[in-house]
């Protein structure tokens, strides 16, 4: 299990940018997957961006070219840089992690064992 705490959410106008941070406890295994998900009321949790321990990144089609996932190991922090925000990006954003194994579907929620409590992003038109 990994402890995860998200921050950086807030309100922004369409076209603006926000950077989310996910501070995590020390990763005790060299192999891991970490990801950002989002979920709104009455919606399924959607994988937004994922990063694996071998350096691969992947994105939902809806955010490609606008969002970027990265990790700063010295600070035990995962980031999601969100540019060109749209009102449809309004959601609660969650950080997720799983240690010690390969992720076959890094944008699917069932791959992950640890979740943060989320941070809200609201984009106004």
* 28-86 confidence digits (pLDDT tens): 888 999 999 999 988 999 999 999 999 999 999 999 999 999 999 999 999 999 999 99
pLDDT one-digit tens code per residue, 84-93: 999 999 999 9
Q: Within 10 A of 82 (CB to CB), how many other CB atoms are there?
A: 26
How far apart, in whole angstroms, are the C-alpha atoms of residue 92 and residue 75?
A: 23
Asked if residue 116 lies in contact with residue 20, where contact means CB atoms within 8 angstroms, the answer is: no
């Amino acid at each position: 299990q990994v402890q995860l705490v998200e921050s950086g959410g807030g309100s922004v106008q369409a076209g603006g940018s926000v950077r989310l941070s996910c501070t995590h406890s020390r990763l005790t295994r060299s192999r891991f997957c970490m990801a950002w998900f989002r979920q709104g009321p009455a919606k399924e949790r959607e994988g937004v961006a994922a990063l694996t321990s071998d350096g691969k990144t992947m994105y939902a089609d809806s955010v490609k070219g606008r969002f970027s996932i990265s990790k700063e190991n010295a600070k035990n922090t995962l980031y999601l840089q969100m540019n060109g925000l749209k009102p449809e990006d309004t959601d609660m954003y969650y950080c997720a992690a799983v240690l010690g194994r390969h992720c076959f579907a890094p944008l699917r929620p069932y791959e992950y064992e640890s979740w943060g409590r989320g941070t809200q992003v609201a984009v106004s038109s």
